[in-house]
Amino acid sequence: MLRIIILFGFTYFFMMLHAKGDISKYINMKYSYLSFSMIFLMGFLTLYQLIQWARGDKRKDHNHDHDHGHDHSHDEDTILKKVFTYTMMLIPIITGIFLPAATLDSTIVKAKGFHFSFIDNDTDQYANHQILRPDASPYYDKIAYNQMDKNDLKKYGSENRIVLDDKHYFRALESIYNHPGNFIDKKVVLKGFAYRTDDIENNQLFVLRFGIIHCIADAGVYGMLVEFPKDVKSQIHKDEWLQVEGTLETTYYQPFKENIPYLKVTKWEEIPKPKDPYVYRQY
């Protein structure tokens, strides 16, 4: 009986991930067909197990296994082992269905090695300065935000090479942070100034821009972690402007304790500082 519940749980979980589109927060969408087919495979196993159970011939099946000398039934001999097996199997179903996927939270990032005078010295406690990941959701109601998020994903997710120029900077970047799985392996072109925190590797940099979502009180710094094929610490200095092109990947970034999207750089060049270093969100 428990087995039916667990199998059904997995079926439902995979179905939910695909129906709500949350799957892109967890995995590379290139192989989403694998987890999509899981809905049917698991569904089939659930049905099969249900029929077996309804017929009540569980005993016979177990003898079956012994016939093949395959000792897996060994594993579930004692009550303790049974409890262990079923608890383990239930954990991901329960936490997966009921807990939301965590995403980069700008309040965490703030404390982790990013220092900008206009943010650090701002005494206005109501100001909302974001770092790295643009999050426009506080400025919209929930339904409108979700609708916009969906449209942006449709628009940028269908491009194979996404150019983060002034016009698209905010919305494309936000879309990438919201659904990194949809953008993996795509080309992204990004420009901004180089920024270094203490805890990144010598071949890594942050490429950032100052940006304004709504008004100057909530100006923030937005951009991405980029990784060069070689050590660039001595070549590219802090605050130098550059344009990078690379393929998008995600990585677990220890200082933030989060999975973040980053660019594996294939091409880069130094560029002059633009006239207006700020970018503005397009509405």
Partner 1 sequence: MSQTLLQMNTIFISIIIEALPFVVIGVFLSALIQMFVTEEMIAKMIPANRFASAALGSCIGSLFPGCECGIVPITRRLVQKNVPLHAAIAFMLSGPIINPIVIFSTFVAFGDSWKMALYRCSLAIGVSIIVSIAISYLFNDQQLRKVMDHLSHNHSHGSHKMSLRSKIIGTIDHAIDEFFSVGKFLIFGALISSAMQTFFKTSALLEFGHSKVTAVLVMMALAFILSICSEADAFIASSFSGLFGTGPIIAFLVFGAMVDIKNLFMMLDAFQKRFVFTLVSLIAVCVFVGALII
Nearer to partner 1, 32 or 243 (CB): 32
Whole-number Å distance between alpha carbons of 5 and 88 = 13
17 in contact with partner 1 (CB under 8 A): yes
The separation between the first and the last C-alpha atoms of the chain, rounded to the nearest angstrom, is: 53
Residue 183 contacts partner 1 per CB under 8 A: no
Euclidean distance between CA atoms 178 and 158, whole angstroms: 15
Taking the complex as a whole, the smallest distance from the CB of residue 174 to partner 1 amounts, in Å, to 19
Distance CA 157, CA 195 (A): 27
CA–CA dist 134, 178 (Å, integer): 10
Q: Does 100 bind partner 1 (CB under 8 A)?
A: yes
**Cα–Cα distance for residue pair 198/112, rounded to 1 Å:** 9
With a CB cutoff of 8 Å and minimum separation 6, the contacts of 123 are none
**Pairing, β 278-280 against β 204-212:** parallel
- Cα-atom radius of gyration of the chain, to the nearest Å? 24
Residues near 25 by Cβ (< 8 Å), separated by ≥ 6? 101, 103, 179, 180, 181
Count interface residues toward partner 1 (CB under 8 A).
60
Q: Which of 11, 23, 211, 261 binds partner 1 (CB under 8 A)?
A: 23
Site string for partner 1, 231-270 (x = CB under 8 A): ------------------x-xx-xx-xxx-----------
Q: How far is the CB of 49 from partner 1 (least distance, A)?
A: 6
In angstroms, rounded to a whole number, what is the distance separating the alpha carbons of residues 13 and 89?
Answer: 13
Here the tokens at position 259 are: 């999975």
Ramachandran angles phi, psi of 254, nearest 5°? -55, -50
Does 105 interact with partner 1 (rule: CB under 8 A)?
yes
Strands 241-253 and 161-164: unpaired
With binding defined as CB under 8 A, does residue 89 bind partner 1?
A: yes
Judged by CB under 8 A, the residue of 8, 9, 25, 182 near partner 1 is 25
- Degrees, nearest 5: CA angle 7-11-17: 140
Residues in region 110-169 near partner 1 by CB under 8 A:
none
* Calpha distance 258→255 (Å, rounded): 8
Applying CB under 8 A, the span of 41-49, 213-221, 233-241, 265-273 interacting with partner 1 comes to 41-49
Q: Pick from 27, 50, 119, 127 the residue near partner 1 by CB under 8 A.
A: 27
Q: Contact between 19 and partner 1 (CB under 8 A)?
A: no
Closer residue to partner 1 in complex, CB, 46/175: 46
- Minimum CB–partner distance for residue 257 and partner 1 (Å): 5
Nearest distance, CB of residue 195 and partner 1, angstroms? 20
**Contact positions vs partner 1 (CB under 8 A):** 3, 6-7, 10, 14, 17, 23, 25-28, 30-31, 34-35, 37-38, 41-42, 45, 48-49, 52, 61, 64-73, 75-76, 84-85, 88-89, 91-92, 95-96, 99-102, 105, 108, 185, 199, 249, 251-252, 254-255, 257-259
